């Protein structure tokens, strides 16, 4: 199964892109566990919560992988790189157990969403200013440059992003 991860700063269209790609390729996608966790627990998150969130994200991914054994493709709305970036950005450190899981995970392609979409506020988003979002984008970019999985930067309107992502998936996941 090819696994394509969609990452990037807040409000860059990750969830809608994952949903659109899953529909286009007639497959499933893994939602971002952090949203569910934070909405359910109705609290500010702590450094300790990030490990719990990471394990929830992995559990959702494992379940989707098991449920879609007959599908050649799975889209993942954020992975542990996102939790690592968030942890380091907010708390200046990351739990070593998260880093160990990152080192063991295997993916086929990352789609990095740029910050050129208009900001959409919601109860969980923290950084509406473009300057901070751009800093986070560069943090994600640096993370992807330092690992071996190919990645593509996705930008433009929502429809342009979907088209760019479809083309990238076809290039890097040739048997879908």
Domains of the chain: 2-172 (3.40.50.300)
How does the average pLDDT of the chain come out, rounded?
93
Asked whether the predicted pLDDT for residue 15 surpasses 70, the reply is yes
Could you report the per-residue pLDDT of 32-88, keeping only the tens digit for each? 999 889 888 877 789 999 999 999 999 999 999 999 989 999 999 999 999 999 999
Asked whether the predicted pLDDT for residue 144 surpasses 80, the reply is yes
- Judged by DSSP in three states, 67 sits in helix
Count of residues making up the chain: 176
Q: Can you read off the two tokens belonging to residue 121?
A: 């506020």
Query: What pLDDT was estimated at residue 92?
Result: 97
Q: What is the pTM (predicted TM-score) of this model?
A: 0.94
- Judged by DSSP in three states, 89 sits in helix
Query: What pLDDT was estimated at residue 123?
Result: 66
């Amino acid at each position: 199964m090819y696994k394509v991860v969609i990452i990037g700063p807040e409000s860059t269209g990750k969830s809608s892109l994952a949903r659109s790609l899953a529909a286009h390729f007639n497959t499933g996608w893994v939602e971002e566990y952090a949203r569910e966790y934070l909405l359910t627990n109705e609290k500010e998150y702590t450094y300790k919560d990030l490990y719990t969130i990471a394990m929830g994200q992995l559990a959702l991914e494992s379940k989707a992988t098991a449920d879609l054994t007959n599908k050649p493709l799975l889209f993942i709305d954020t992975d542990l790189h996102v939790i690592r970036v968030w942890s380091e950005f907010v708390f200046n450190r990351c739990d070593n157990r998260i880093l160990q899981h990152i080192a063991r995970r295997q993916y086929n392609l990352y789609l990095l969403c740029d910050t050129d979409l208009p900001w959409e506020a919601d109860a969980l988003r923290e950084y509406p200013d473009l300057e901070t979002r751009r800093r986070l984008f560069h943090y994600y970019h640096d993370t992807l440059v330092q690992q071996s999985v190919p990645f593509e930067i996705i930008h433009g309107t929502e429809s342009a992003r979907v088209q760019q992502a479809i083309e990238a998936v076809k290039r890097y996941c040739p048997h879908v």
